[in-house]
């Protein structure tokens, strides 16, 4: 049957156009929503979806993966984890999780207020047992805290904490510590305490690398490197490379690290930014210290991203992924300054 009426032809044509556009739009929305759902940083979105679908184990796996991949962990994430685990955790384990939630909530408030309340009793004990510290390390902990609270955690300035309470606070806020002098799973030890703080973004105070009562980092922008000989540990070399400034600085850091002998210990801390001119070669050399790509920046697996804090302790020549590393994401839409802390603790007075 032929359709000769021009108006009907026009209507049919517009109908085809409208159907095509509607199909395209539906497909576009579906694909966009799916891409958002599968984006690595949207682990909380996926976890909530799985829980609504009754897949509690899958939700739990998703949230724990996200916490290990994206730092700092938000209070919303911890609250969701507490909701899932409330009926399955022993009371003491649940209390430890609640401490992390309280400290995270405090830090989020700290970004907008210099006056916060903290029940310091929650810091009297910790799920990990810190060894007794030498006088030198005790002094370093207080100095570290003074630098950290002077500009970044101003809300903590009026709160008096003991050395152990400071370490507990750093742990509950996302710090990573190893005891018995062990450097992660490298099989190598440090025969004295080693503490590292990295503050990303231009608003941060810089970086700190504390060893035997001395800070080998500072408040200038760059990637701080501190090298120790194998035990008995002695300072081998220390330097700073402003990789944000130029690619030449990254090449200098490559050469510096290439000259470090196998088995030597490396401590690293970013101040402000250290990816702008990062080279593939430099990244590969860092992986040779036992570090590994564990976080995402714009959906790409990275050692750390733009403006991130990054702190790590490794050993040249060990297996990738065996060193100690920590990072915190920089979010320009927030006032918070990313902080990453790692530490190797031996404890006790030196003989």
Task: Give pLDDT tens digits for 138-149.
Answer: 999 999 999 999
Ordered by start, the domain boundaries in the chain are: 40-110, 120-344
Q: How far is the C-alpha of 291 from the C-alpha of 298, rounded, in Å? A: 20
Residue bearing the bigger pLDDT, 135 or 37: 135
Q: How far is the C-alpha of 263 from the C-alpha of 309, rounded, in Å? A: 26
Q: What is the pLDDT of residues 186-205, one digit of tens each?
A: 999 999 999 999 999 998 99
pTM of the complete model: 0.89
Q: How far is the C-alpha of 19 from the C-alpha of 64, rounded, in Å? A: 43
Whether the bond between 72 and the residue before it is cis, its omega within 30 degrees of 0, is yes
Q: How far is the C-alpha of 198 from the C-alpha of 338, rounded, in Å? A: 8
Residue 211 in tokens: 């060893």
Strands 222-228 and 324-328: unpaired
Q: Coil, strand, or helix at residue 122?
A: helix
Please state, for a pLDDT cut of 90, what percent of the chain lies above it.
76
Q: What is the pLDDT of residues 154-190, one digit of tens each?
A: 999 889 999 999 999 999 999 999 989 999 999 999 9
- What's the pLDDT band for 113 if we cut at 50, 70, 90? confident
pLDDT at 7: 64
pLDDT at 4: 60
Residue 313 in tokens: 């302790």
pLDDT at 132: 87
Q: What is the pLDDT of residues 309-348, one digit of tens each?
A: 999 999 999 999 999 999 999 988 888 899 999 999 986 5
Residue 25 above 60 pLDDT? no
Contacts of 210 (CB under 8 A, 6+ apart): 137, 140, 143, 144, 193, 194, 195, 196, 216
Q: How far is the C-alpha of 227 from the C-alpha of 316, rounded, in Å? A: 10
Q: How far is CA 243 from CA 196, 253, 260, 272, 303, in A?
A: 19, 9, 19, 10, 15
Q: How far is the C-alpha of 252 from the C-alpha of 316, rounded, in Å? A: 17
Residue 350 above 70 pLDDT? no
């Amino acid at each position: 049957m032929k359709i000769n009426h021009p108006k009907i032809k026009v209507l049919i044509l517009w109908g085809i156009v409208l159907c095509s556009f509607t199909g395209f739009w539906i497909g576009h929305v579906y694909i966009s929503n799916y891409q958002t759902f599968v984006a690595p940083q949207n682990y909380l979105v996926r976890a909530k979806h799985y829980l609504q679908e009754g897949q509690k184990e899958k939700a739990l796996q998703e949230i724990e993966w996200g916490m290990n991949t994206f730092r700092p962990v938000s209070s919303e994430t911890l609250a969701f984890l507490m909701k899932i685990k409330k009926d399955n955790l022993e009371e003491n384990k649940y209390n430890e999780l609640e401490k992390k939630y309280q400290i995270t909530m405090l830090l989020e408030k700290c970004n907008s207020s210099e006056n916060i309340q903290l029940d310091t009793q929650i810091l009297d004990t910790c799920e990990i047992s810190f060894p007794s510290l030498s006088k030198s390390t005790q002094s370093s902990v207080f100095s570290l805290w003074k630098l950290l609270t002077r500009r970044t955690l101003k809300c903590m300035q009026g709160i008096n904490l003991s050395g152990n309470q400071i370490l507990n606070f750093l742990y509950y806020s996302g710090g990573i510590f190893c005891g018995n002098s062990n450097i992660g799973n490298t099989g190598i030890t440090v025969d004295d305490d080693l503490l590292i703080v990295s503050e990303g973004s231009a608003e941060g105070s810089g970086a700190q690398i504390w060893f035997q009562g001395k800070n080998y980092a500072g408040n200038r922008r760059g990637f701080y490197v501190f090298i120790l000989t194998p035990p008995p540990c002695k300072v081998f070399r220390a330097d700073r490379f402003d990789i944000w400034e130029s690619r030449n600085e990254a090449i200098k850091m490559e050469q510096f690290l290439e000259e470090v002998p196998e088995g030597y210990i490396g401590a690293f801390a970013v101040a402000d930014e250290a990816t702008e001119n990062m080279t593939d070669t430099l990244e590969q050399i860092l992986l040779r210290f036992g570090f590994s790509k564990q976080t995402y920046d714009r959906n790409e697996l990275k050692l750390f991203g733009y403006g991130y804090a990054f702190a790590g302790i490794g050993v040249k020549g060990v297996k990738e992924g065996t060193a100690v590393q920590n990072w915190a994401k920089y979010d320009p839409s927030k006032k918070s300054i990313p902080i990453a802390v790692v530490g190797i603790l031996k404890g006790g007075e030196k003989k």
